[in-house]
Amino acid sequence: MAISAAAVANRWTQRRRRAQELREAWPFSAEVLGFYGALLDAQEAAWSQARMDVPAPADVISYTRVRVLPAIFEATVRSGPSKLVQSLLERYEVADFESIAKAWLDGNELLPVERYIARAAVSPVLEALGTAAGALGSGPRGGRHCPSCGGRPQLSYFAASSEELLTPQRYLECERCATSWPYTRMTCAACGESRSMQLAVFTEEGVAQAGRGARVVRRQPAAADLGSEAAAPEPGSARFAHMRIDGCRSCSTYVLTVDLGGNGRAVPVVDELAALPLDLYAKEQGLRKITPNLMGF
Ligand SMILES: [Zn+2]
Ligand SMILES: [Zn+2]
């Protein structure tokens, strides 16, 4: 699918706009989104520069260290949550960046602070390179992995459908390079489980799911789950009306799914980052996210 440069550039504007919107609408996510907004400026600048420089895949990590890392580091120290900043200053050595970034691209285990810095700095470069970045990551391609770089799905979303009766296509979006690819609807994005008895969909109470073919487990999050002073939503006015948790009992993982048909203003990567109460709820159910997002949730 060809994507015009203007449409791609617009992604950053969309992310910034949505982060601002949700920051006001979802007070529990204000800190995360305030920081994300500051980081977006550094990431967009890195993306624009990389679009001009077009580093060769073999040079991406060293390029990122020299051209991108300083600004990402600076934005994080200036605007990041104190715990992250403290870890960054105490536990992370800039000299280790290249080996950390390589480990991240290979899908190896990393400390949260290492995963954060690798991802925050390398992903805008991968996004700028598009399919050319595909040569970088290791591991399988396609299906439950990004067809371009082999990354795992950060999130899932349903495209808005122009025809009411048409079932919207489901997509997964890559944790590393933001590529999206089509994926079967009621199938675990981590292990491929498709037996409905093993799959659990959680939505906020009051969200209609009729006709979507999902086995729905509804529950109103208790005030304690919300992690904020925000008032509990009125019936029918769920804050996460366009979101759900897609859980799998076979591999005990979950992914958050954003329904763009349910909210045309949503930007999946931003909404996923901000829906902290859904993450808390999924964890209470004994599920872990397929891969933590940029902010570690
Ligand atoms: Zn990817
Ligand atoms: Zn599974």
The secondary structure of 159-186 as a DSSP string is PPPSSTTSPPPEEEEETTT--EEE--TT
Which residue has 């089509």 as its token pair?
A: 182
Could you report the per-residue pLDDT of 133-169, keeping only the tens digit for each?
888 877 889 999 999 999 999 999 999 877 777 789 9
Higher pLDDT, 91 or 100: 100
Question: Closest-lying ligand to the alpha carbon of 130?
Answer: 1
How many angstroms does the Cα of residue 251 sit away from the middle of ligand 2? Answer: 4
Q: According to the model, what pLDDT value does residue 3 have?
A: 58
Query: At residue 6, what is the residue type?
Result: A
CA distance 152 to 176: 8
How many angstroms does the Cα of residue 52 sit away from the middle of ligand 2? Answer: 40
How many angstroms does the Cα of residue 261 sit away from the middle of ligand 1? Answer: 24
Q: According to the model, what pLDDT value does residue 80 have?
A: 95
Per-residue CA distances from 135 to 5, 141, 230 (Å): 22, 11, 45
> 288 in helix, strand or coil?
strand
Domain 153-289 fold is: FdhE-like fold (3.90.1670)
How many angstroms does the Cα of residue 258 sit away from the middle of ligand 2? Answer: 19
How many angstroms does the Cα of residue 136 sit away from the middle of ligand 1? Answer: 10
How many angstroms does the Cα of residue 60 sit away from the middle of ligand 1? Answer: 14
How many angstroms does the Cα of residue 165 sit away from the middle of ligand 1? Answer: 31
Could you report the per-residue pLDDT of 163-222, keeping only the tens digit for each?
777 789 999 999 999 999 999 999 999 999 999 999 999 998 755 443 343 434 444 333
Contact assessment for residue 285 and residue 202, using Cβ atoms and an 8 Å cutoff: yes
Question: Closest-lying ligand to the alpha carbon of 146?
Answer: 1
CA distance 231 to 176: 35
Question: Closest-lying ligand to the alpha carbon of 199?
Answer: 2
Question: Closest-lying ligand to the alpha carbon of 132?
Answer: 1
How many angstroms does the Cα of residue 64 sit away from the middle of ligand 2? Answer: 34
Contact assessment for residue 276 and residue 243, using Cβ atoms and an 8 Å cutoff: no
Q: Tell me the sheet residues that pair with 219.
A: 204
CA distance 33 to 18: 9
Give the Cβ contact number of residue 61 at 10 Å.
23
CA distance 83 to 86: 5
CA distance 46 to 177: 14
How many angstroms does the Cα of residue 67 sit away from the middle of ligand 2? Answer: 38
If residue 254 lies in a helix (H) or strand (E), which one and from where to where?
Answer: strand 253-259
211: left (phi over 0), alpha (psi -120 to 50) or beta: left
CA distance 219 to 201: 11
Q: What are phi and psi of 202, to 5 degrees?
A: -115, 130
- Domain-by-domain residue ranges, the chain? 5-135, 153-289
How many angstroms does the Cα of residue 75 sit away from the middle of ligand 1? Answer: 24
Q: According to the model, what pLDDT value does residue 41 have?
A: 96
Q: Is the pLDDT of residue 232 over 70?
A: no
How many angstroms does the Cα of residue 101 sit away from the middle of ligand 1? Answer: 15
Please enumerate in sequence order all residues whose Cβ is within 8 A of that of 168, keeping only pairs 6 or more positions apart, or say none: 158, 159, 160, 161, 259, 260, 261
Higher pLDDT, 79 or 135: 79
How many angstroms does the Cα of residue 263 sit away from the middle of ligand 1? Answer: 25
How many residues in total does the chain contain? 297
How many angstroms does the Cα of residue 178 sit away from the middle of ligand 1? Answer: 6
How many angstroms does the Cα of residue 127 sit away from the middle of ligand 1? Answer: 8
How many angstroms does the Cα of residue 194 sit away from the middle of ligand 2? Answer: 8
